[in-house]
Amino acid sequence: MNYVSERNKTEYRLKRRKRRHLRVRKKVVGTPERPRLVVFKSNKHIYAQLVIDYPFGPCKIITSASTLSPEIREKIANLKGIDKAKEVGRLLAERAKKFGITKVVFDRAGYKYHGKVKALADGAREGGLEF
């Protein structure tokens, strides 16, 4: 594809990711027994949330974790991106256990399952969550 500018290229990639995310969201639903673990990443940070979706009441975020969380902020200051994502996954699993959650449905939000997204999932598994 011939791009006119870098901005159009970025917009195109964002639209493609959003379309992939919507396609997956048709099938992946968070229930009270198995909430949806959804991932969002920016250039600097990675975020993860446990969500119960609409058919079971209003959409509700149970808990979340990110690289900005105060518990791990100092711990991850000297780590690289993949290691930071793994720590976020562990923190999310720790917080989920406080709510009695052990099983989740993984929603990668249109991102490829490699790199930071895979590391976050691995960290959550190490923390005790089952996918």
What is residue 36's three-state secondary structure? strand
Task: Please choose, from the candidates 16, 10, 38, 32, the residue with its C-alpha nearest in 3D space to the C-alpha of residue 100.
Answer: 32
CA distance 5 to 8: 5
Low-confidence residues of the chain, pLDDT below 50?
Answer: none
- Joined together, the tokens standing for residue 112 give 């490829």
Q: What is the predicted pLDDT for the residue at 85? A: 96
Q: What is the predicted pLDDT for the residue at 96? A: 96
128 to each of 58, 77, 91, 100, how far by Cα in Å?
27, 24, 11, 11
Q: What is the predicted pLDDT for the residue at 4? A: 61
Q: Which CATH number fits domain 6-126: 1.10.3720.10, 1.10.760.10, 2.40.50.100, 3.30.420.100?
A: 3.30.420.100
- Spatial contact of 68 and 41, defined as CB atoms under 8 Å apart: no
Q: What is the predicted pLDDT for the residue at 59? A: 86
Q: What is the predicted pLDDT for the residue at 48? A: 97
